[in-house]
Amino acid sequence: MTVEDYKEGQLIFIDKPLGWTSFQVVNKIRWLIKQQFKIKKIKVGHAGTLDPLATGLLILCVGKFTKKIDTYQAQEKEYTGTITLGATTPSYDLETEIDARFDYSSISSENVSETTLQFIGEIQQQPPIFSALKKDGKRLYEYARAGEEVVIPKRTVHISAFEITNIELPNIDFRIVCSKGTYIRSLAHDFGKTLNNGAHLSALRRTKIGDYSVENSLSIEGFETKLETTSS
């Protein structure tokens, strides 16, 4: 692979590690390519943000392929993860501390399975206040960290599959296939409310974007090794 190949356009499939932001992954891959080819500039962008506490498939578009980012972002996505009942957090995941606890002892596996049916198809969802969405030119998480109240309009998203893969209360493991713009954190929060309880997202992994699977992705270290051994 030559520097011209990267400039003309490449897709890089990375298995994003826990704790990294998507932006940090982009910066790291850009730096590796620049170092390898001793160049000052190369365009790199990602096709769909993953939160720091999520892992899994991140599609990076390099060179002229950055013009195709919207195409990949628009594709359906598949996730696996864990919803934990009995507690809520302001961020709807483990980024913030638990702010309320609930008794989940009366909730059964049947209750859980029946509740999933209410989330299949088109649903209205409110994005979490701890998100990078902008309102009046400011990121929502900036309002949240400043303790400011802000009205977040609901949006329509589509859930084409919502499967419960294991239940060991308070933890519920799932697989979801959904449209662009779906917040799994919000879904976890709403899932708890629908059960007249509280819930938050405790684990998330993106397994597919369109026809692309995380099984065919590389770790950051794996990409670095590949870059060193296949570049010319």
Q: Walk me through the domains of the chain, giving residue ranges and CATH numbers.
A: 3-74+212-230 (3.30.2350.10), 77-209 (3.30.2350.10)
* Mean pLDDT for the chain overall: 93
Burial zone of 29 (CB within 10 Å; 0-12 exposed, 13-18 middle, 19+ buried): buried
Q: Specify the 3-state DSSP secondary structure of 164.
A: strand
Question: Is the model's pTM score more than 0.85?
Answer: yes
- DSSP line for 203-216: EEEEEEETTEEGGG
Share of the chain above pLDDT 90, in %: 82
Q: Helices 220-230 and 22-37 meet at what angle, rounded to 10?
A: 20
Catalytic-labelled residue, pool 51, 70, 99, 190: 51
Is 190 an active-site residue?
Answer: no
Measured in degrees and rounded to the nearest 5, phi and psi for residue 81 equal 180, -165
Per residue in 65-84, pLDDT tens?
Answer: 999 999 999 999 999 999 99
